[in-house]
Amino acid sequence: MNKTAKRILSVILFFVLLTQPFAVSFESANNSNFLSWQVAEAADNGLPSATKDGVILHAWNWSFNTIRSRLPEIAAAGFKTIQTSPIQGNKENTMTGSIWWMLYQPINFNIGNAQLGTREQFRQLCAEAENYGINIIVDVVANHTGNAGIDSSVQYVPAYNVDPSIRNNPSFWHELSGITNWNDRRQVTQLGIGLPDLNTSNQELQDKIIAFLNDAISLGADGFRFDAAKHIELPTDPYGASNFWTRVLGSLSNNSNQYIYGEVLQGGADAFAQYANYMNVTASNYGESVRHAVGFNNAKNVNLAYNYNAANVAPSKLVTWVESHDTYANLGDESTNMNEWQIKMGWAIIAARAQTVPLFFNRPAGTGKFATTLGTAGNNLWKDPDVVAVNKFHNAMAGQGEYLRYQGNEIMLIERGNKGMVIVNLGGNAAINQPTNLANGVYTNKATGGGTFTVANGRITGNITGGTVAVLNNDSTSTQSVNVAFTVRNATTVMGQNVYLIGNIPGLGNWNVSQAFGPGNTASYPHWGFTVNLPVGTTFEYKAIKRDAANNVVWESGANRTYTVSASNNQVSFDFRN
């Protein structure tokens, strides 16, 4: 380095040192401002306060840092909660996408693995997610560990690198064999599902699980999904009953604010409704019904998406999905061949409905079933504009009831209280004309199909493009108004009298004669003309009156007239009834 360069570097270094205290102060202020901006951004995204009122993005196989880098986009897409893949240590460090199941072969109850990241990276993710109003829930594998291999002789033997304090304790294991009768509740809870089955009734083992869960909570976790929950016994089971669920869930820090649900796949000896006494549960049968409803391996029929088929468990206890990581990734390809249109239509159905918590499964990106490595983000369907529109509708409708209507087998109208509606059209272009409880007005479709729908006199009308959804809510109600031409015919008057319109809306005086609209135009006397600007869709009662300067009034005889403001029918004529 020459002398001139050294002198320049010295000047720069001196300046940096001189200004360092100011720089630190400035950075601190900037960080504070940035945090405030993040909190404001979260509020702008309209995310609800609790997981139960929002929608979940299953960031399947995403690493902690991958999720963290996309938090602004996830919040903007309307996802309240992110579900991670299992965060426990597992038996191999493979990053191959097709070996995703390795994450479900844990070796301990510690946080961190090669695929998702470290304990510290998990903490950083939770801390930053909180700035965006996003909750993080963790997939937990408490039923089993990784095995020693796929050969039948070692399939139910713990892997060599399972935590020795677990592996070498014979009290921590059930019988080393697998289920042969899925209708036998004893086998379902006491034998393996292709992996070594942990004796979850053992309280020393429970203590390890509790410590792991509370560690995750201390780092910022907001809840848990329990993998293979139906294979962990209930306190009410006729054989092998235990206090696992009451003791473990009852020992969680801040447990009233944790969102807990269990993978209780329906079928066989599932005890589905009994699990709902302890946690939320997965409505797997409903997922299959929705897939059929949108035409996957079935004729399109939205009526199939009505019944949750969830053993009469309340909808508020259900987690719903169009597909799960199992239906997509397992060898049976249960949902793998669904196309993106079918997924979007199914999502519009489940995420528009009330009470349940919908989970959006993020498929791997690229071509092929497992095109990406573990730790990377999946495809971008989760931020498709129609998915986002439905997410935000779901969030805005928290606490509203639902009413489902059908127009044939291919159109479903999901109405939420009197505040909003999602219309799912699986068929061709269609004219909508259905009863509704929505407030009168013109509603602009927030999904990509566009268009407007008019609500008047308890009916909704409009046109919807084939194969699209319409997302309508009160904040999309248009303030569009039109000039309505009223003509009052044959209204003869005496000197000093004029003709006015009066009605039960502010524009016509709210029945206050001194504030009636007018007087009318007498260019065609004895006909009187009025041009009134009124909001489209408004239904009101009215009459014509004759009034003089002293507010002496002659009312029309007979019943009040009624009219609904319409851009296509904005000329009204009638005779004054003496």
Cβ-Cβ contacts under 8 Å for 191 (sequence gap 6 or more): 174, 175, 177, 178, 179, 197
541 is annotated as an active-site residue: no
Model pLDDT, residue 246: 98
Give the residue among 561, 532, 563 at the shortest CA–CA distance from 545: 561
Cβ-Cβ contacts under 8 Å for 414 (sequence gap 6 or more): 349, 352, 353, 402, 404, 421, 422, 423, 424
3-class secondary structure, 358: strand
Cβ-Cβ contacts under 8 Å for 146 (sequence gap 6 or more): 90, 91, 102, 105, 106, 107, 158, 159, 161, 162, 195, 196
Cβ-Cβ contacts under 8 Å for 500 (sequence gap 6 or more): 513, 516, 517, 518, 519, 520, 544, 545, 546, 547
Catalytic residue among 222, 233, 237, 263: 263
Cβ-Cβ contacts under 8 Å for 84 (sequence gap 6 or more): 59, 62, 64, 67, 116, 136, 137, 138, 139
Element (H, E) at 334: none
475 is annotated as an active-site residue: no
At 233, list the tokens: 């016994």
Q: Which regions of 113-251 does DSSP assign to beta strands (E)?
A: 135-140, 223-226
Global confidence as pTM: 0.78
Bridge partners (DSSP) listed for residue 425: 411
Model pLDDT, residue 481: 65
Catalytic residue among 163, 222, 227, 384: 227
Quickly count: other Cβ atoms within 10 Å of residue 521's Cβ. Answer: 14
Model pLDDT, residue 442: 85
How far apart are the C-alpha atoms of 188 and 41, rounded to whole Å?
46
Calculated CA dihedral for residues 174, 180, 184, 187, nearest 10 degrees: 0
How far apart are the C-alpha atoms of 577 and 485, rounded to whole Å?
19
How far apart are the C-alpha atoms of 218 and 12, rounded to whole Å?
44
How far apart are the C-alpha atoms of 447 and 427, rounded to whole Å?
17
Pairing of strands 357-361, 318-321: parallel
Is the omega angle on the peptide bond into residue 519 within 30 degrees of 0, that is, cis? yes
How far apart are the C-alpha atoms of 306 and 62, rounded to whole Å?
33
Quickly count: other Cβ atoms within 10 Å of residue 239's Cβ. Answer: 11
Yes or no: say if 465 and 427 are a contact pair by the CB < 8 Å rule: no
Query: pLDDT of the chain along its 578 residues, tens only?
Result: 443 343 434 334 334 333 343 333 333 334 434 344 444 444 468 899 999 999 999 999 999 999 999 999 999 999 999 999 999 999 999 999 999 999 999 999 999 999 999 999 999 999 999 999 999 999 999 999 999 999 989 999 999 999 999 999 999 999 999 999 999 999 999 999 999 999 999 999 999 999 999 999 999 999 999 999 999 999 999 999 999 999 999 999 999 999 999 999 999 999 999 999 999 999 999 999 999 999 999 999 999 999 999 999 999 999 999 999 999 999 999 999 999 999 999 999 999 999 999 999 999 999 899 999 999 999 999 999 999 999 999 999 999 999 999 999 999 999 999 999 999 999 999 999 999 999 888 899 999 998 899 888 789 999 999 999 999 987 654 446 678 999 999 999 999 999 999 999 878 988 999 889 999 999 999 999 999 888 777 888 999 999 998 889 999 999 999 998 887 889 999 999 99
